[in-house]
Structure 1
Amino acid sequence: MNINATLFFQAIVFLILVWFTMKFVWPPIAKALDERAQKIADGLAAADRAKSELSAANQRVEKELAQARNEAAARLADAERLAQSIIEQAKARASEEANKIIAAAQAEAEQQAVRAREALRDQVAELAIKGAEQILRKEVDAKVHSDLLNRLKTEL
């Protein structure tokens, strides 16, 4: 055989192999490579989206934490104001109660003073009668003396 014929047949076989490879082998390999590239691109895009979503979620969490802190501070301030108000009300009630007790004690003292004056008037009247009896040493009408004593009580 001739080297040219061998070379010619080898070229034909090579072209058939190239044609077979391009027709049946290369398309599935190219398709698999394209699918793999698409999956990688989708994965990278999903990672970027997840990263941006994580950043947005962190910002929302920070905002909510700040809002919760502000609400807690506001509630604490409200509680302190309420406590101050309750303390002030208790002080006012205690002051009113003390004033009532003082007024009652003063009224009781005045009543006792009035009773003491009445008792003192009675005693003065009795002493006046005894003194008059001792001075007069005679019997006197009791009804007349009681009227005189009553007038004396009213004058005292």
Structure 2
Amino acid sequence: MSITGTLIVQMIVFLILVWFTMKFVWPPITAALDERARKIADGLAAADKAKTELASANKRIEVELSQARAETTQRIADADKRAQAIVEEAKKRAEEEGVKIVAAAKADAAQQSVQAREALREQVAALAVRGAEQILQREVNAAAHADLLNRLKTEL
């Protein structure tokens, strides 16, 4: 064979190889590359979507946290107000009880004072009767002179 014949046979074999590659080898390779590119694009889109959702979720969390903080602050303020009201109410009750105790003590003191005066009147009347007995050297009848003794008690 001559060089020209070899060259022509090699060109024919090369063209058959190119046709075979284009027909059977190249389509699966391009399909695999296209599939890979589509998966990468989908992954990037999902990552972008996840990033957007994360940002949205972070914003919602911030809003909810600020609301929770505000609500907590409000509850603390309400609890402080309630505590102050309870303290004021307790002070008011204590003052009322104090006034009642003082009034009861004054009433008790007045009652004891009246009882002490009555007892003192009784003792003075008894002493007056004894003194009169000694002066008169005779016994004075308390039942007979009850009216006189009562007048003496009222004068004392």
TM-score by length of 2: 0.84
1:95 deviates by 1.5
Task: Please report how far the alpha carbon of residue 3 of structure 1 lies from its aligned counterpart in structure 2 after TM superposition.
Answer: 4.6
User: How many angstroms apart in 2 are the aligned matches of 1:131 and 1:95?
Assistant: 52
In 2, the alpha carbon distance for the partners of 1:143 and 1:83 equals 68
Root-mean-square deviation over aligned CA pairs: 2.2
1:55 aligns with 2:52: no
2:123 is matched with: 123
Find the counterpart in structure 2 of residue 148 from structure 1: 148
User: In structure 2, how many angstroms separate the alpha carbons of the residues matched to 1:31 and 1:139?
Assistant: 148
Deviation at 1:105, TM superposition (A): 0.9
CA distance in 2, matches of 1:150, 1:76: 72
Number of aligned residue pairs: give it: 156
* Alpha-carbon distance in structure 2 between the residues aligned to 1:139 and 1:33: 146
Is the deviation greater in 43-52 or in 123-132?
123-132
After superposing the two structures, state which structure 1 stretch, 24-33 or 76-85, moved more.
Answer: 76-85
Question: What is the CA–CA distance in structure 2 between the aligned matches of 1:7 and 1:32, rounded to whole Å?
Answer: 35
List structure 1 runs of 4+ shifted beyond 6 angstroms: none
The code of the aligned residue for 1:48 comes to D
Tell me the TM-score normalized by structure 1: 0.84
Alignment correspondent of 2:71: 71
Identity rate of aligned residues, in percent?
69
Residues 70-89 of structure 1 mapped to structure 2, 5 A cutoff: 70-89=70-89
Residue equivalent to 1:43 = 43
Q: Which has the higher contact order (CA 8 A, sep 6+)?
A: 1
CA displacement 1:71-100 (0-9 Å, x = unmatched): 221221122122212212221222122122
Task: Give unmatched runs, 5+ long, in structure 2.
Answer: none
